Amino acid sequence: MKNLTTTAFVSLSLACVVVDATAGVVAPNFGFILQSGGTAVSGSAGDFGSTTNTGPTEWFFHGSCSAMTGTTMSWAYLVDPDPFITGSLSIQNETGIAKSYIIDFVLSISPPMVATLISGQVSGSLTDGNGSGAALLTSTAGGAVYTALADGLFAQALMVNASQSVSTQFGTTSFSGGSFGQPVAIAGPAMNNTIGIRYAFTLSAGDSVSFSSIFVANVPAPGVVALGCIAGLFAHGGRRRRR
């Protein structure tokens, strides 16, 4: 039993090392979907800008997309498939009418997590970009401007039923959209494939908004999980021997 346990421990530890090493070499999938007015533009963030490995498991994506007529979007995100997403998104409505947007940034994660501790935050600024004397940002249909996603499903939301406005020509307002899990992370859902941030809002004509946001899922490191499993096996074995 002892030899078997030792062998399992070594194998699991090696597996953990391999996972970490692989994560540092291959960029994770980090994509976006921009939806507005019944049309959608999507793609890998790296295809619309650049992708850079900035740390053992961290990747930096920055780029811009103006493939949707009348809308220009740019981003700069640091991501880690371990996982977290942190960075900024700015979007400009070039049209003459208010537009509703749903924008998802989704990151593939590794490994899957049964239990998570999560935290997140969003802040932003809104500018009257065309000098009309007004700018308005509202959450669409009373929903949340920021939604943290786990496997595409709701994890947490911020800026629910929100409204921000500018009433001076070429004016700007900054807003803090709040946070969750700060300073102490809160329990989150299981995450098997992806985490993401969804922005859903309506932006007035000719104006621009930027969001800086964070979504972090804290999990025990894979090696610790393995040790925990093995410790559990030892304890279970010990109890059986005592019987």
Partner 1 sequence: MKVNIKNCAVILAGTMSLITSVATAGFTSSGCVYTVTSSAAGGSLSNITTDLSPTAWMNSGGWQTAGSTASVTWVNNIGGWNSVTAAGFMNANIVVRNNTTLTQDFVFTAAMNGTATGSFLISGSLGGEFVNGSGSLGQLTSTGPLWSALFDGVAVRTELNNALLFAPPLQVLSVGNFNFSNIPVSGSIGQQAAIRFSLRLTAGGEVSFTSAFSFQVVPAPAALAVFAVAGLFGSRRRR
User: Pick from 28, 31, 81, 87: which binds partner 1 (CB under 8 A)?
Assistant: 87
92 binds partner 1 (CB under 8 A): yes
76 binds partner 1 (CB under 8 A): yes
CB of 40 to partner 1, least distance (A): 19
193 vs 210 by CB, closer to partner 1: 210
CB of 206 to partner 1, least distance (A): 8
Site residues for partner 1, 97-126, by CB under 8 A, read 119, 121-126
213 binds partner 1 (CB under 8 A): yes
Q: Could you tell me the CA-to-CA distances from 227 to 3, 54, 214 in Å, in that order?
A: 16, 29, 30
199 binds partner 1 (CB under 8 A): no
Task: Check residue 140 and give left, alpha or beta (phi > 0: left; psi -120 to 50: alpha).
Answer: beta
82 binds partner 1 (CB under 8 A): no
CB of 92 to partner 1, least distance (A): 5
32 vs 211 by CB, closer to partner 1: 211
176 binds partner 1 (CB under 8 A): yes
130 binds partner 1 (CB under 8 A): yes
29 vs 132 by CB, closer to partner 1: 132
Task: Check residue 37 and give left, alpha or beta (phi > 0: left; psi -120 to 50: alpha).
Answer: left
93 binds partner 1 (CB under 8 A): no
d(CA 164, CA 172): 10
CB of 98 to partner 1, least distance (A): 17
CB of 53 to partner 1, least distance (A): 9
147 binds partner 1 (CB under 8 A): no
- Residues binding partner 1 (CB under 8 A): 49-50, 52, 54, 60, 62-64, 66, 72-76, 78, 84, 86-88, 90, 92, 94, 119, 121-132, 166, 168-176, 179, 182, 208-214, 216
